[in-house]
Amino acid sequence: MTHKPLRAPVIVITGASSGIGLATARMAAERGARVVLAARSGDALARIRAEIEGVGGKAIDVVADVGRRADVQAVADRAVATFGGFDTWVNVAGGSIYGRLREVSDADHERLIQTNFWGTVYGSLVATEHLRQHGGALINVGSIASDLAFPYQGMYAASKHAVKGFTDALRMELMDEKAPVSVTLIKPASIDTPLPQRARNYMDREPSLPPPIYPPEEVANAILHAAVHPQRDIIVGGAGKAFVAGKEFAPGAYDHLSSAIIALQKRTDAPRNPDGALHAPVAAGETRGDPPVPVMRTSAYTRASLHPLAAAVGLLGVGAVTAFAVLGPSSGRRRRL
C-alpha cells in the first residue's frame, strides 16, 4: 500500500512531550503537517504547541493518559473537531522499569503494561475506526525488545512483545477487511531520549542504554517515511538488526550475554532517581537524554532500508553471506561419499 503525499496531513502523536514523540512532532510540523500533540504533561505540550505555531506551523495539544481509553478517544475527537480528521496516528507513548522481575511491585508492572501495551491497543483501535473510513496510516512504536528480551527490563520487553503480536494481528484483520489502512511497527534500537532517566528504577545506579545509541530524529524520519511509503516493520539502528539476527541464529548464545547486558545498563557516575515518570508526568520538553557514550549521527542501515531497491540488494548480500557461513565454500560442488 502506498499513500498519496498530502499537502497538509494531520498527524496524531501520543507521547509527544519528549523523546521520539517530540522529535516526530517537530519534524512533521517542519514538513508541513498539522500536528495533534498528546501526552500527560500539559505544560510541556503547551510550550511545544507555541513553539510550532511560532514558526508558522499548526498544532493542537490534548492532555491525555493513553492508559485510559476515554482519554485516547478524546484525542481523536479533538483532531476531528479541529482539523476534520487525521491521516496518520502514531503510538509513541511508553516507559520502562529497570530492576529484577522479582523485585518490581505488581503495581509498577501493571502500570507499565497499561501504558505500553493498552495505550497502544486503545490508540490503534480508536485510530483505525476513523482511518478505515478515510484511509491512512497507523504507526506503532515498538522496540528491538519486540524481538529480544533484556534482563532488568523484563516487563518492558514483555510489553513490546505484546505490542508486536497485537500489531501483526490487527494488520491481518484490516487486510482481510480490505481496509485502506497501512500498519507499520517501528522497532528502534538504543535511542538518545530521556527514557532511562524517566524509568522506574530499582537498581542502585542510574540506568543507561547499551551502545551504539542513535539520535531520535532517525526514528522520526522512519515514522514519517512510513506515513507515505508504508513498510511492515522498520528497525532503526543497524546494531539492532544485528542483535535481532544474532538472537534468531543462536538464541542460547544470546541468553549468555545477560551479565554483559546488565552491566551496560548501569551508569557508574550518575545519581539515582528511583521514581521516574511511571505513575505521574515529570518535567518534559526534551528530545535527548544524557548518555555516557557518544551518539551516532545517523543509521546507514535504516536509511537504506527505507528504499526498497537498496533493501533488496542488502537482503541478497545477507543471504549470500549466511549461505556461505552455513554451507561452506564447497556447497556448490557435489560431495563425494
| Residues identified as active-site | 156
Question: Which residues does 97 contact at the CB level (< 8 Å), separation at least 6?
Answer: 104, 108, 109, 112, 153, 155, 156, 199, 200, 201, 202, 278
Q: How big is the chain by its Cα radius of gyration, in Å?
A: 20
- Cell triple for residue 321? 553471506
Other beta carbons within 10 angstroms of residue 116's beta carbon come to 27
DSSP 266-309: B-SSS---SSTTSSS--S---S----SSPBPS--HHHHHHTSHH
- DSSP character for 147? T
Asked whether the beta carbons of 74 and 60 are under 8 A apart, the reply is no
How far apart, in whole angstroms, are the C-alpha atoms of residue 189 and residue 326?
Answer: 27
Three-class DSSP category at 260: helix
Paired strand residues for 141: 186
Contact 118, 140 (CB under 8 A): no
Length of the chain: 337
Cα end-to-end distance, the chain, whole Å:
51
* Sheet with strand 233-236: strands edge to edge: 58-63, 34-39, 10-14, 88-91, 136-141, 181-188, 233-236
For 332, residues 6+ apart whose C-beta sits below 8 A from its C-beta are none
Calculate ∠ Cα 311-169-115, nearest 5°: 95
Identify the residue whose cell numbers are 541478497. Answer: 316
